[in-house]
Amino acid sequence: MTSQQPPHAVGHTPVPRSDTWPLLVAALATVSFVCMDSLIKLLAVRYEAIQLTFFRFAGGSVFAVLLWAWRRTPLPQRAAWRMHVVRSVLLLLSMVGYFHALTEIPLVLAVTVSYLAPIFVAVLAVPVLKERPAGSIWLALVAGLAGVSISVVPEFSAGLNGVTLRRLGGMASAAVAALAYAGVMLLARRQSRSDSLWTILLIQTVLPMLLLAAPAAWIWRPMPAGDIAFILLAGGLGTLGLLCLTYAFTRLEASRVAPLEYTSFVWAALLGYVLFDEVPTLATAASATLIVGGCLLLLRR
């Protein structure tokens, strides 16, 4: 019997696990989300943020219902619905705030401010999940706040006027949206232990749509038939992004997948320039660098 050589022997190299496909899928999720944001920003010239948010969930519900009907995963128990309602309300606040920001500030700046969400998650995990605070949390928070401050300084330098106040309001709206989304992610950690992806996808699209139906009807603006395709495409892109991100997280460590989210700055800058003639400023780039640096500190925890 011939003895087998160890993997490190001459002429034999270990076969590495291929991580290419999950990383590509995670990158696709990032592109999908930014493309969805661009479609919403295109529609923002005709609709208010509440109606835009309703469109997002209504379009996503078409795909979420079909996917759930295909998989037929069980619905949550009665006791679990309370957390689903809380999460849906936070998700609504996040989306309305972010879509309002898209109506007031450039796409790439809104994406930059949204990078605060992972930092908020790390800070809120201390009281909510009883995690032990680490020095990196506070360094990340300082870096994130410094990054946002860099974006705010040019607005004050230009002098306070109507346009400046609207842009500052848009940035504040994006920051509040990031804070609400941090709450969404914290609750998702708990819910993923008991509910399947297809069930969560169904509830987090259909329930917000139902909660927003009455407010959207109150301020409803007539919708041209041509916008239906944009609404369905935005909903489909949001659903695709969520599924791709979940696929990547189930096959790779979070620390490998999470940094790919920051490639959205590149896509937002490109689409902002092509679709809206927005040119990223040096302050925006410096702001993104500081916020991303803070998030990378959290990944090294």
Tokens 């607005």 sit at which residue? 155
And the tokens for 215?
């407010």
For 202-259, write each residue's pLDDT tens digit: 988 999 999 999 999 999 999 999 999 999 999 999 899 888 877 887 677 655 676 6
Phi-psi region of 215 (alpha: psi -120 to 50; beta: other; left: phi over 0): alpha
Helix 107-114 and helix 81-104: axis angle, to 10°?
A: 140
pTM for this entry: 0.81
For 137-180, write each residue's pLDDT tens digit: 677 777 777 887 787 777 666 656 666 788 889 989 999 999 99
Number of H helices, E strands in the chain: 12, 0
pLDDT at residue 156, as a whole number: 66
